[in-house]
Amino acid sequence: MQTRTLGTGNYALEVSALGLGCMGMSFGYGPPRDKREMIALLHAALERGVTFFDTAEAYGPFTNEALLGEALAAVREKVVIATKFGFRIDAQARRQGGLDSRPAHIREVAEASLRRLKCETIDLFYQHRVDPDVPIEEVAGAVGELIRAGKVRHFGLSEAGVSTLRRAHAVQPVTALQSEYSLWWREPEQEVLPALEALGIGFVPFSPLGRGFLTGKIDEHTAFDATDFRNTVPRFAIEARKANKALVDVLEAIAAPRGLTAAQLALAWLLAKKPWIVPIPGTTRLARLEENIAAAGVALSPAEAAQIEAAAARIPVQGERYSAEMSRMVDR
């Protein structure tokens, strides 16, 4: 697989053109998957050229980092692992309890993540969500101290607005911003992408396949597990799914003559947008992993990319992308 670069200069980070979002192996999309099967999947991803793996202490909590630590410790020099801080987690109840990006807490999380990941340095350390109670300058300064101490290599932000991004970057250069971006959520094009290009910051889209919807395998009849967070997402309400199927139909019609799936077309479109965009589709299945990886070899011309986005733009997507509670954690 080809590689791409997030960030610039001394803060540049080379990764595979597609990364692997690992959250769903342990959290968010139903019960945790079998550990041995997920370790095998992580190894399969590396064998097929994926070197960029995304996790967080909040996924589980804690269990997803431990999974990656066990699976990748022996090949640590071959991979780039991104993890995140920023939540207050009740260790006994194993659940999130609000935001916490106080510098002391950031240092605690870094040490705990290093132990679970079985490594000496975190490649990319994201603030998971912007904490309105802690100035972003303090957050950037704390991560900068970890970088100088050799415990972290690169600083990242997740779901941060442009103003926050600029303020953080002025204190400690930001290598990457991670936020949702796909053919059914294109808001980053308005302000975020231009700011990233101006600042030399890479972009890591999570949910590049619309939390699985753009694969075409989800419709109004799909039943989610009781622990699947999509049950709380307005965009996945039954009526919204019925309406949003029109977008998948359009993508499938464009993809089929090219011998592609809708998912591959959606990923290829993202890769064609900018050379510093690195999507991180998640999966727990080898067949889906291979399907996604194949998209990295699809080269769309500017005209083809424009055709895809113009066709998608004609289909208004129904439903908010987050519940009201989760929306309050998104920085603007």
Instruction: Give the strand pairing for 52-54 and 80-85.
Output: parallel
The answer to whether the beta carbons of residues 65 and 57 sit under 8 Å apart is yes
User: Can you read off the two tokens belonging to residue 327?
Assistant: 């929306």
Structure confidence at residue 94 (pLDDT)? 65
Distance between terminal CA atoms of the chain? Answer: 34
Q: What is the pLDDT of residues 244-272, one digit of tens each?
A: 999 999 999 999 999 999 999 999 999 99
pTM of the model: 0.97
CATH superfamily of the domain spanning 3-327? NADP-dependent oxidoreductase domain (3.20.20.100)
Structure confidence at residue 97 (pLDDT)? 77
59 given a catalytic annotation: yes
Q: Residue 95 above 80 pLDDT?
A: no
Structure confidence at residue 96 (pLDDT)? 77
Q: What is the pLDDT of residues 223-238, one digit of tens each?
A: 999 999 999 999 999 9
From the list 59, 126, 181, 322, the catalytic residue is 59
Q: How far is CA 135 from the centre of its chain?
A: 24
Average pLDDT, the chain: 96
Q: What is the pLDDT of residues 311-325, one digit of tens each?
A: 999 999 999 999 988
Structure confidence at residue 332 (pLDDT)? 78
Q: Residue 93 above 70 pLDDT?
A: no
Q: What is the mean pLDDT of residues 72-79?
A: 98
